[in-house]
Structure 1
Amino acid sequence: MQFLKSLLFTFAASTLVISAAHAQAPNAAPDAMVRDLSNEVLSAIKADQALKSGDANRVQKLVDEKVLPYTDFQKMTQLSVGPGWRNATPEQRAALTREFRTLLVRTYSGALGQVSDHKVELRPFRAQPTDTDVIVRTQVVASRGDPIQLDYRLEKADGGWKIYDINILGVWLVENYKSQFSSQVNSSGIDGLIKTLTERNSQLAQKKA
């Protein structure tokens, strides 16, 4: 189950990578963005051997250049940290966001090589034109097995829609990490959480070296 979640999150994150390769109109509908790009990412993964093999430098480069403009990592980090974020200094917030982003990339990049005949189907989208926070629901299907839920939570910003949370098999990414981070903040504070994330990223980097 954990491996499947890794694969699905990596696929979701990779969708963000591909989305940045296409200029997004400021008023583009969020479901249209996901619909147009989700299946394209599968072909892109298969065509890019470095990405498919989980090459850390390749994945990080793509994230830095392509993912950031379309993902609100700061909001994702803020929600994951919870109430402790309010007491964090600007420097601590920047460090948390940087280390959390690195953790996500390094944790899930290795699953890219498992993408095979998967494809994404868009589920019915319900939202009003005036909505600024929506959920785009999709399902991942393959030749074998049941469809798997994979949803995106997006917020409308000045430059268009940005993703700040992902639901994998019924579990929202933010909620999953929030339970872990809250315990860490309560026991050792914000600096303790930053230290833990930094050490974890160092361990993951050594494994991939």
Structure 2
Amino acid sequence: MKAIRVLFTILSFGLLSAPVFADDMAPDVLVKKVTDEVLAVVRADKDLQNGNTKKAIDLVETKVLPHFNFTRMTALALGREWSKTSAEQKTRLTNEFRILLVRTYSNALTAYKDQTVEYKPFKMQAGETDVTVRTLVHQTNGKHIGLDYALDKQADGWKVYDVVVAGVSLVTNYRESFTQEIRANGVDGLISTLAAKNKGLEAAAAGKK
């Protein structure tokens, strides 16, 4: 879980820019462009650095979401259970999972500590629709963390459907906890648990104001 906490801190600084012409960009170009842009924004924004939760949430809502395939992320996180859920449950699960990630990203966004990103060489075969863009995050403590983005090609451009930090997959990490919850309380129980967690995060954010 420590690796995942680090992931949220770092991931908040990647893919946080408006999707202008994103459908025309190669995946590695997209990752580099938007990461570089957001690093400049965060470095200059004192409100974000001082923990302005509302501003962080607004930034994530408007800039992060267009670059993520939340339906596929949720399906991967549920694994085999996804095919057993109803259309309504899938919609509710995807929505609650999206809210959870937005809240988590926004909290991490305020923890920026001058990390820098190194982009690894990228090669893609003609016609490929599923690729991985690899980066290395240099932290202020001198340690380096591998951060890989798995993207698939959609009609409106490349979308992230998983992130792997230091060898730990975001969706795989959630799959374990989701599976345990479903075994104990069913799919509706998982939805209720996610909804309760989201309300708790919302209340905590409101308490900071």
Q: TM-score, normalised by structure 2?
A: 0.88
The aligned residue for residue 160 of structure 1 is 157
The aligned residue for residue 91 of structure 1 is 88
The aligned residue for residue 12 of structure 1 is 11
Look up the equivalent residue of 1:11 and give its one-letter code: I
The aligned residue for residue 51 of structure 1 is 48
Asked if 2 retains the 8 angstrom alpha-carbon contact of 1:53 and 1:112, the reply is: no
Asked if 2 retains the 8 angstrom alpha-carbon contact of 1:7 and 1:114, the reply is: no
Q: Summarize deviations over 1:30-71 as a string: whole Å, max 9, x none.
A: 011112222322221122334334444333333333322221
How many angstroms does 1:164 deviate by? 0.9
**Judging changes above 3 Å, is the alpha-carbon distance between structure 1 residues 173 and 117 closer, same or farther for their aligned structure 2 residues?**
same
How many angstroms does 1:197 deviate by? 0.4
How many angstroms does 1:137 deviate by? 0.3
How many angstroms does 1:81 deviate by? 1.2
- Counterparts of 1:16-165 in structure 2, within 5 Å, are 16-18=15-17, 20=18, 22-165=19-162
CA RMSD in angstroms comes to 2.0
Q: Does 1:183 align with 2:195?
A: no
Name which of structure 1's ranges 185-194 and 24-33 shifts more when overlaid on structure 2: 24-33
Look up the equivalent residue of 1:41 and give its one-letter code: V
- Secondary structure of the corresponding residue to residue 17 of structure 1: coil
**Judging changes above 3 Å, is the alpha-carbon distance between structure 1 residues 55 and 93 closer, same or farther for their aligned structure 2 residues?**
farther
Q: Tell me, in whole angstroms, the C-alpha distance in 2 between the residues paired with 1:52 and 1:7.
A: 17
Aligned length: 206
Q: Summarize deviations over 1:97-124 as a string: whole Å, max 9, x none.
A: 1111111122342232332221111012
How many angstroms does 1:196 deviate by? 0.6
Look up the equivalent residue of 1:187 and give its one-letter code: A
Q: Does 1:200 align with 2:208?
A: no
Q: Tell me, in whole angstroms, the C-alpha distance in 1 between the residues paired with 2:85 and 2:170.
A: 21
Look up the equivalent residue of 2:16 and give its one-letter code: V
Asked if 2 retains the 8 angstrom alpha-carbon contact of 1:7 and 1:112, the reply is: no
**Judging changes above 3 Å, is the alpha-carbon distance between structure 1 residues 57 and 98 closer, same or farther for their aligned structure 2 residues?**
farther
Look up the equivalent residue of 2:117 and give its one-letter code: V
- Secondary structure of the corresponding residue to residue 131 of structure 1: coil
Look up the equivalent residue of 1:101 and give its one-letter code: R
Asked if 2 retains the 8 angstrom alpha-carbon contact of 1:39 and 1:119, the reply is: no
Q: Summarize deviations over 1:137-195 as a string: whole Å, max 9, x none.
A: 00011343222111100000111101111111210100000011011112211101000
Q: Tell me, in whole angstroms, the C-alpha distance in 2 between the residues paired with 1:50 and 1:93.
A: 36
- Secondary structure of the corresponding residue to residue 124 of structure 2: coil
